[in-house]
Amino acid sequence: ERIGVLGIPFSKGQSRVGTEYGPEVLRNGGIVRKLQNLGCHVQDHGDVEVIQVENDDPEENAKNPRTVGLTSKLIADKVERVLRSEDICLGLGGDHSMAIGTIAGNARVEPDLVVLWIDAHADINTPMTSDSGNIHGMPLAFLVRELESYVPKLPGFEWLSPCIHAKDIAYIGLRDVDAGERKIIEKFGITAFSMQEVDKYGINEVVERALRAVDPEGKRPIHLSFDVDAMDPTLTPSTGTPVIGGLSLRETYYIAEEVARTGRLSMVDVAEVNPLLGDEKDKKLTVDMTISVIQRFFGNRRGGCYPPGYDIP
């Protein structure tokens, strides 16, 4: 399997410094070598160029709109390029506004993709429903066709048109959802498994239902967007908006192993690692946990695995 790794050193979709160092700490943690050890053919495509627009005043309450919008276009172009030559793109963020570009770029290559969004948050605020004005809480609103009339064209976003349907999205891990987001989920019938449903049905049932809801026939490409705050903050403390009561390591591994097993992953986003938050121990734990989950998405199974072609020596 050919994996293209792409760094997205970006933080302007939210207000804390640090997520721009996500790609660096994940690379330093050995992510490329660890994927190679699984037998994957890994090509590191370096970092996307990020843009910083001067005097980027808020528009319709959204902060840094030009910076986020124009950087998202560069991300989309680069993701498209990577996916034309590789089987899967691994996008190392970066705050979660990165998904505007990664999903837009992926959809150019895989127009029939579905989105699995693993997050404590729904990230589907429109600029008007958002309290924070942070665009990392809005990426899906810019991408969903049914929301087009609810979302103003922000400066920097002229290039973007919505590319997915509300019914193509499934959430797992939600536990901090704003009122406007909840209304959107219900009004447009978005599949959403909060921690309440994870507790009620168990992670195995939740993953199966999520996959079946977006793709009953099991043949569409999967864009997996993983916000590390989906996991419990005891596991990934170095992140900007931790929420207690999150996914356990085993639940997260289960999601990753099952999604890998479909063989239909086209892109994995890894968002919101912020190595400047917490102490050294928090940072190391967050990076270690994140890398261990990424490996599960690319074939590392708890039951054991070996590279293609391997036999008993």
Residue 223 appears among annotated catalytic residues: no
Binding partner at 165 among Mn ion, ligand DIR, none, C-beta below 5 to 8 Å by kind = Mn ion
- Pick the binder of Mn ion from 20, 95, 181, 229 (CB under 5 A): 229
* β-sheet with 2-8: strand ranges across: 41-47, 2-8, 88-93, 265-271, 222-227, 114-118, 169-174, 191-194
Binding partner at 132 among ligand DIR, Mn ion, none, C-beta below 5 to 8 Å by kind = ligand DIR
CB of 6 to ligand DIR, least distance (A): 20
- Pick the binder of ligand DIR from 36, 43, 61, 132 (CB under 6 A): 132
CA distance 304 to 313: 17
Can residue 119 be called a binding residue for Mn ion (CB under 5 A)? yes
CA distance 183 to 52: 33
For residue 88, give every residue at least 6 positions away whose Cβ sits within 8 Å of its Cβ, in sequence order, or none.
1, 2, 3, 4, 265, 266, 267, 268, 298
Residue 96 appears among annotated catalytic residues: yes
CA distance 170 to 255: 13
Exposure b/e, 65-98, CB count within 10 A at least 16 = b: bbbbbbbbbbbbbbbbbbbeebebbbbbbbbbbb
Can residue 64 be called a binding residue for ligand DIR (CB under 6 A)? no
The smaller minimum CB distance to ligand DIR, of residues 59 and 80, is found at 59
Can residue 241 be called a binding residue for ligand DIR (CB under 6 A)? yes
Task: From 32-40, 132-140, 244-252, 257-265, give the range in contact with ligand DIR by CB under 6 A.
Answer: 132-140
CA distance 239 to 170: 22
Can residue 227 be called a binding residue for ligand DIR (CB under 6 A)? yes
CA distance 136 to 124: 9
> Which residues would be at the binding site for ligand DIR (CB under 6 A)?
96, 121, 123, 125, 130, 132, 134, 136-137, 178, 227, 241
Residues identified as active-site: 96, 119, 121, 123, 136, 227, 229, 272
Q: List residues near Mn ion by CB under 5 A.
A: 96, 119-121, 123, 165, 227, 229
